[in-house]
């Protein structure tokens, strides 16, 4: 165990998927850091499930991709339906090799794999059961206080990175506002044994009553996401399965429900993302609608960019301000695109009384020449460079 009296160049608050991956990137570029995480283990239950090719490419650079692929399910195509008719299919086959698929892996398993890789490379890098409670800044140094096993500890760092999620203490401490709004959309989702005929394919049903999404999971299970007219408190498996049966006539096997939840969606962006020596990444910097499955992947892109940014800063400290401004601009651009793409996905999935033109549009988007552009958009290609 490291001696906490030693100052760190970088302290990372939050060892969720983004903080753990940032640790791996800093390890790779040889910058000393510490990750403080309040939980004793990854949060059980699966929120995120999609790992996009852009992230697999980043994982590959760190020698991680093969292990993730061994643990997940490769989604190589998706099918779009109305309540009772097929509109078309979208294949990722022609996307750049070798990652021409989206990998389905529940978030807690993703976090466990990242943690294993990080602690194998540096056993002292992650401090669990460490709840950060106070942050103070003086003389270009940041003092971070955390509680651990009944004692209070303080460390010092040159830069502080908040990877501490939507309710970020780091963001609040820095006085950074989190601006945005909720959308009217609400959903329920659950994981069940897979009794569908879709195998490793994804399926999206653009029903008149609202969207249903269905994704493969490891261990012969399947995730079902169902749009609801309003937020449902204390959702039961029956509420989800009856909506699926009513809208598309499929009977879900609900004998072993492994995860069930209700969620509303919102867009929130930190303004600014960087303030003095405090930098935000992941959900601490931006929360976007999960429809389209981009949030965690966007956080990994932040982390990789930040590791490059910090490498430049430690070579040219006198230019730190302008280097950090550029990080902020790049991240703002990527977040705007991800928000636009998520909004497009949500709009297409809303209940409608006149689906004719929406369905025509989807059929068109799933055919050449537009289908390759759609495959690129759905796999998060160009999120940092394109205008959409
Ligand atoms: C229903 C749903 C489905 C989703 N599906 C997808 C998907 O398919 N694909 C996708 O890319 N994204 C998806 N997302 C989004 C994804 O879950 C988040 O973007 C991702 O978890 C963000 O990771 P993070 O590390 O930034 O934050 P978090 O996962 O919130 O992790 C933050 C960590 O910081 C720790 N922490 C907080 N405060 C402190 C403190 N004071 N001291 C120490 N530690 C602290 C927390 O314990 C936590 O471990 C989904 C989200 C939802 C709600």
Domain ranges of the chain: 8-56+66-72+106-180+266-352
Host H or E run for residue 109 = helix 107-121
Q: How many Å apart are CA 240 and CA 242, to the nearest integer? A: 6
Q: Provide the phi-psi class of 31: left if phi over 0, else alpha when psi is between -120 and 50, else beta.
A: beta
pLDDT at site 139: 84
Output b/e per residue, 266-299; b: 16+ Cβ within 10 A. Answer: ebbbbebbbbebbbbbbbbbbbbbbbbbbbbbbb
Which fold would CATH assign to domain 8-56+66-72+106-180+266-352?
A: FAD/NAD(P)-binding domain (3.50.50)
pLDDT at site 45: 80
Query: Who lines ligand 1 at CB under 6 A?
Result: 13-19, 36-39, 47-50, 107, 131-132, 163-165, 169, 263, 282-283, 290, 293-297, 299
Higher-confidence residue of 280 and 351: namely 280
Distances (CA, A) of 56 to 51, 63, 132, 165, 345: 7, 10, 31, 22, 22
pLDDT in tens, 190-213: 999 999 999 999 999 999 999 999
Cα–ligand 1 centroid distance for 111 (angstroms):
10
Residue nearest ligand 1's atom 37 by CA: 164
At 357, list the tokens: 């033109």
Cα–ligand 1 centroid distance for 166 (angstroms):
7
pLDDT at site 385: 85
What is the band of 317 on the pLDDT scale with cuts at 50, 70, 90? confident
pLDDT at 351 over 90: no
Q: Kindly compute the dihedral angle of the four CA atoms of residues 382, 357, 202, 187, in this order, to the nearest 10 degrees.
A: 90
Q: How many Å apart are CA 327 and CA 14, to the nearest integer? A: 20
Ligand 1 atom having least distance to the Cα of 42? 49
pLDDT at 1 over 60: no
Average pLDDT, the chain: 96
pLDDT in tens, 4-58: 777 899 999 999 999 999 999 999 999 999 999 999 999 988 789 999 999 999 9
Biggest CA-to-CA distance, the chain: 66
Q: What angle, rounded to 10 degrees, do the helices at 320-348 and 295-315 form?
A: 170
Report, as an integer, the average pLDDT of 93-122.
97
Say what the pTM is. 0.97
Cα–ligand 1 centroid distance for 357 (angstroms):
36
Ligand 1 atom having least distance to the Cα of 282? 26
Query: What percent of the chain stands above pLDDT 70?
Result: 99
Report, as an integer, the average pLDDT of 332-341.
97
């Amino acid at each position: 165990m490291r001696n906490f009296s030693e100052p760190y160049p970088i302290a990372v608050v939050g060892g969720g998927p983004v903080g753990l991956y940032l640790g791996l990137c800093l390890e790779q570029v040889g910058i000393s850091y510490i990750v403080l995480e309040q939980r004793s283990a990854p949060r059980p239950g699966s929120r995120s499930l999609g790992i996009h090719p852009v992230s697999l490419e980043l994982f590959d650079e760190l020698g991680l991709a093969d292990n993730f692929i061994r643990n997940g399910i490769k989604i190589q195509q998706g099918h779009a339906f109305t309540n009772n008719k097929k509109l078309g299919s979208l294949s990722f086959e022609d996307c750049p090799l070798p990652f021409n698929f989206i990998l389905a892996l529940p978030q807690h398993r993703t976090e466990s794999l990242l943690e294993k890789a990080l602690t194998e490379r540096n056993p002292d890098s992650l401090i669990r059961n460490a709840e950060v409670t106070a942050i103070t800044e003086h003389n270009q140094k940041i003092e971070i206080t955390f509680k651990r096993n009944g004692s209070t500890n303080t460390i010092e760092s040159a830069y502080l990175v908040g990877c501490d999620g939507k309710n970020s203490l780091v963001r609040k401490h820095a006085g950074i506002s989190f601006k945005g709004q909720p959308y009217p959309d609400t959903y329920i989702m659950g994981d069940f044994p897979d009794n569908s005929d879709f195998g490793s394919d994804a399926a999206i049903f653009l029903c008149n009553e609202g969207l249903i999404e269905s994704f493969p999971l490891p261990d012969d299970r399947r995730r079902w996401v169902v749009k609801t007219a309003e937020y449902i408190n204390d959702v039961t498996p029956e509420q989800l399965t009856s909506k699926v049966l009513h809208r598309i006539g499929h009977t879900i096997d609900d004998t072993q429900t492994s995860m069930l939840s209700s969620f509303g969606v919102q867009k929130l962006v930190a303004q600014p993302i960087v303030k003095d020596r405090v930098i935000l990444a992941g959900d601490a910097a931006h929360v976007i609608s999960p429809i389209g499955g981009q949030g965690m992947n966007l956080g990994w892109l932040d982390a990789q960019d930040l590791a490059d940014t910090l490498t430049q800063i430690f070579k040219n400290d006198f230019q730190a301000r302008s280097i950090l401004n550029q990080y902020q601009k790049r991240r703002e651009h990527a977040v705007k695109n991800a928000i636009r793409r998520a909004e497009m996905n949500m709009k297409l999935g809303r209940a409608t009384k006149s689906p004719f033109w929406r369905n025509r549009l989807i059929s068109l988007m799933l055919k050449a020449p537009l289908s390759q552009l759609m495959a690129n958009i759905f796999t998060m290609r160009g999120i940092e460079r394109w205008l959409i």
